[in-house]
Amino acid sequence: MHKIVTALACTLLATTTLAATSSADYQKDYQRQALDIYKHVVSLRTAAGQGMVPEMADYLAQQFLDAGFTQDEVHVLRQTLSTGEEAASLIVEYRGNGMSGKKPVLFLAHMDVVDALPSDWERDPFTLIEEDGFFFGRGTLDNKMGVTTLTTTFMRLKREGFTPSRGMVLAFTGDEETGMETTRALVTTHRGLTDAEYVLNADAGGGYQDHEHNPVAYLLQAAEKTFATYELTIRNPGGHSSAPRIDNAIYDLAAVLANIQAYRFPGRINDITETYFRRMSRIVPEPVATAMRTYADDQEDEEARAVLEQIPLQVGVTRTTCIATMLRAGHAENALPQSATATVNCRIFPGVTAEDVKKKLFEIGNNPALEIVILDEPLESPVSPMREEVTSLVTDATHAHYGEVPIIPYMAPYGTDGKETRIAGLDTYGVSGLFMRDEDMFAHGLNERVPVRSFFTALEYWHQIMTELGSER
């Protein structure tokens, strides 16, 4: 799911314009290798139903073997998903000398993508295209950049002869955008390979820039909301369309959805979001700054909520949200509908259960005939404590490569593989070496892109993170 959060960039004042950067400016061996890997993995249509994730896992495994990792350190784990599709995950162990006495650190990213229809795009989504200082292509951001930068950094360190004082492990999953079944298997069935002190997830967190590409703040993700989907159905005897009934499944369901649209779940806060709002309030202009400070003190303050409601990604940080995403109804153009069903996707604030939300949807739907079914099995993930070691690593690397911007704890309103690792008892932190503007964010959408400069800077960012981790005594 998506990843870097730049929700307030539109409210920040611009300063210095940064010129576009070309990949031709980066000619070191590891930089060119990273670009070659990036091009290849973007060319693989690793969306659900395409069956290409195993091919990507095999390709990456060979890259690691060519870089000097041994057969017993590189594990391609094939798996048949509940849909029947063949998937795979990849684990690579960078074994340490044990001098730190600490458990390994697990680095996480995902190989699959949301599909893209070439006919809808301005450019071929499965060809990495460089234009106007950006790399365009499906997965360039979500999350083949994470896969590429982590892969390249592991191989770079191996070729430099680096021996870490603690183990480091890469885990690339194969179905993050759908069921996360490969992720679950990595931390259960294959826990012997993935057990770690904590996890750094390259699919979340990161920095945002103002309109002129100036770094403004870094968001360190330590929590995420519960993903839950509901089907809401109204049934009706139906009949001939020439003899309309007073009750109509489509109209009745539309009324239910209008009630849900009008409802606002109560404002909530936790340690992560309170810190987020207080620190963000120091760097954003009015009236957002005052709204954030006020909301941190009083989650029911109507004026503060009204301001934050105007910034879509901030809404998700304040409360549970439920949005209608799909509809199906009727069976013939000349017949009254016998049923109407809406899919409603909810992102639930930690501490609220999926069953609580189901009861609330029924209450506000205000129709006793309404049927609600929870799809799949929503799982709530805990909040990860802010570890000093992780904060220090991220601060050092961010300040070294992007200047002394504030490091701000963050709860993501979206979902990632980090949900599964947190549920499995592994503290997980969204960490990315990428800084972007809000207006350049197109993950899951058309013309997905990543700034060329940020791509190459992320290579240095991860190199510093891993070197510092592996030098601990």
Q: d(Cα 461, Cα 152) in Å, to the nearest integer?
A: 12
State the burial class of residue 148 (Cβ atoms within 10 Å of its Cβ: 0-12, 13-18, 19+).
Answer: buried
* CB within 8 Å of 14: residues ≥ 6 apart: 210, 211, 212, 214
Q: What class does CATH assign to 9-224+382-469?
A: alpha beta
Q: Which of 253, 423, 218 is CA-nearest to residue 341?
A: 253
Q: Which CATH number fits domain 226-374: 3.40.50.2000, 3.30.70.360, 3.30.70.1230, 3.30.200.20?
A: 3.30.70.360
Q: Output the six-digit token pair for 115.
A: 């599909």
- β-strand 371-374 against 226-235: which pairing, if any? antiparallel
In the chain, CATH 3.30.70.360 sits at 226-374
What contacts 122, CB < 8 A, 6 or more positions away? 446, 447
Q: What is the pLDDT along the chain (473 residues), one digit of tens a residue?
A: 544 444 444 444 333 334 468 999 999 999 999 999 999 999 999 999 999 999 999 999 999 999 999 999 999 999 999 999 999 999 999 999 999 999 999 999 999 999 999 999 999 999 999 999 999 999 999 999 999 999 999 999 999 999 999 999 999 999 999 999 999 999 999 999 999 999 999 999 999 888 888 999 999 999 999 999 999 999 999 999 999 999 999 999 999 999 999 999 999 999 999 999 999 999 988 999 999 999 999 999 999 999 999 988 799 999 999 999 999 999 999 999 999 999 999 999 999 999 999 999 999 999 999 999 999 889 899 999 999 999 999 999 999 999 999 999 999 998 899 999 999 999 999 999 999 998 888 888 899 999 999 999 999 999 999 999 999 87
The answer to whether the CB of 387 falls within 8 A of the CB of 320 is: no
d(CA 219, CA 98): 31
Task: Name the amino acid, one letter, at 298.
Answer: D
Beta strand pairing call for 134-136 and 371-374:
unpaired
Domain with CATH 3.40.630.10 in the chain: 9-224+382-469
Residue 466's nearest CA partner among 83, 158, 180, 233 is 158
**Contact status, residue 3 vs residue 143, Cβ threshold 8 Å:** yes
